[in-house]
Amino acid sequence: MIDKLKLISKCKESGKSITPQRFDIIEELSKLNTSISAYGLLERLNSNGHSFNISTIYRVLDFWIGVGIVHKVESNNTYLICNDSHTDHFHVLLHCSNCESVEESCKTSNKVSIPNVQEFTPKKGQVIELHGLCSRCS
C-alpha cells in the first residue's frame, strides 16, 4: 500500500497538493505489483464505485509522473508505481518479454551506473527499460 505521508511530502517538495482524485488513482495503482494501462486502471477504479473518465486518468498519471511517483513504461504504454525513492541512480524497469510483467527493484537499478563523461550529463533518477526474462520465465 501507498504511504500517504511520503506522497504528501513528495508533493510539497514540488509545490503541488494531493486532491482526492489524485489520491484515489495512485492508491489503486499501488495495489498492483506490475504495470497497467490507463484503461485497465480506469476499469478497476470504476468497478470500485468511482466514475472517472479516461482523460482524468491520463492527467492524474502525468501529474504523478511529474512528481516522480509513477513511471511510464514507454514500450507498451503502461504505468507503474515507483518502487525506489533513490534519485542517485537510474530507475531500471525490468520488462519481461514473455509474461509482460514489469518490475523495478533497487537491487538491479543500483548496478546500472551513471556514465561520467563530458559530452553528456544524464539526468539523475531517470527511467530506463530493460527487456528480458523475469525469474519466473527464465
Residue 34 near residue 77, CB atoms below 8 Å: no
Q: How far is the CB of 60 from Zn ion (least distance, A)?
A: 18
- The span from the CA of 99 to the CA of 136, in Å, is 9
Between 54 and 133, CB nearer to Zn ion: 133
Q: How far is the CB of 53 from Zn ion (least distance, A)?
A: 27
Residue 42 near residue 57, CB atoms below 8 Å: yes
Binding mask 78-117 for Zn ion (x = CB under 5 A): ----x-x-x----x----x-xx------x-----------
At 48, list the grid cell.
470500485
Type of residue at 135: S
Q: How far is the CB of 26 from Zn ion (least distance, A)?
A: 14
Assign 14 to helix, strand or coil: coil
Interaction site with Zn ion (CB under 5 A): 82, 84, 86, 91, 96, 98-99, 106, 134, 137
